[in-house]
Amino acid sequence: MPRLILTNEFIVTHPRNRSSKRIFIAVEGFQTEKKYLKALGDEIKTNIEIIVINRQLQHSGLSAPEYVHQTILQKKESTEYRAGDEFWIIIDKDSWITDEVIRKCEEDNICIITNNPCFEIWILFHYLNRNQTNTICGFENCQSVKDEIKVHDDHFSNSRPVIHRTFRGLSTAVWISKKLDISPRNDYPNNPGSRMYKLINILLND
């Protein structure tokens, strides 16, 4: 089994209460998810401390969801547990999600956010309006999602995935993603779909 090295981590929200609930998150992508979460931490007020885990794969051999699971599991096992701590992963349907990874997360009490086909679909939802829910179609792959985002924001790129004005559409993104998630008990949402709304609801309602 390839060994994962946790290079470092960064905190994206800074609640005043040092005994606040903590959510540790391991993400699949190297840029988009982390930059989004950093920007989100600047935009919202929450009593929850979000810590995003950076990871580096030392050897090849694991699919993306598998090494994300290994990353968060390693962090969970090495963290001094505090009451209320939660451990999450964010993974994409387009990158070989397997039943085995889903089951391992359930066994290890790790929360899963799945996106279909990829995380960028969640960003796209920020640019849409609620009237488009019934007309939005599935996307063939992640590149087609990125192309659609560029229709709304020609400055979009993976290295610059979001600017602060995008968060004006945060509540709409939550509404759309919940509306499209017609089978929430399934392992992943239909295409297009994202379960990022679960994390946002926790952050805004805690």
pLDDT confidence tier of residue 206, bands split at 50, 70 and 90: low
Tens of pLDDT, residues 87-134: 999 999 876 667 788 899 999 999 999 999 999 999 999 999 999 888
Residue 59 is predicted with a pLDDT of 44
Q: How confident is the model at residue 43 (pLDDT cuts 50, 70, 90)?
A: confident
Query: Which residues, at least 6 apart from 30, have a Cβ–Cβ distance to it below 8 Å?
Result: none
Give the pLDDT confidence score for residue 4 in this predicted structure.
Answer: 36
Q: Classify 73 in phi/psi space as left (phi over 0), alpha (psi -120 to 50) or beta.
A: alpha
Q: What is the pLDDT of residues 68-92, one digit of tens each?
A: 898 899 999 999 988 889 999 999 9
What SS3 class is residue 193?
A: strand
- pLDDT in the model for residue 162: 66
pLDDT at 8: 62
Pick the more confident residue, 142 or 46.
142
Question: For residues 84 and 20, what is the distance between their CA atoms, to the nearest angstrom?
Answer: 8
Task: Work out the average pLDDT over 38-62.
Answer: 75
Its pTM stands at 0.88
Helices (H), the chain: 32-43, 64-78, 99-107, 120-125, 142-152, 170-180, 196-205
Domain residue limits, the chain: 4-205
Residue bearing the bigger pLDDT, 155 or 105: 105
* The predicted structure's pLDDT at residue 146: 93
Count CB-CB contacts under 10 A for residue 168.
11
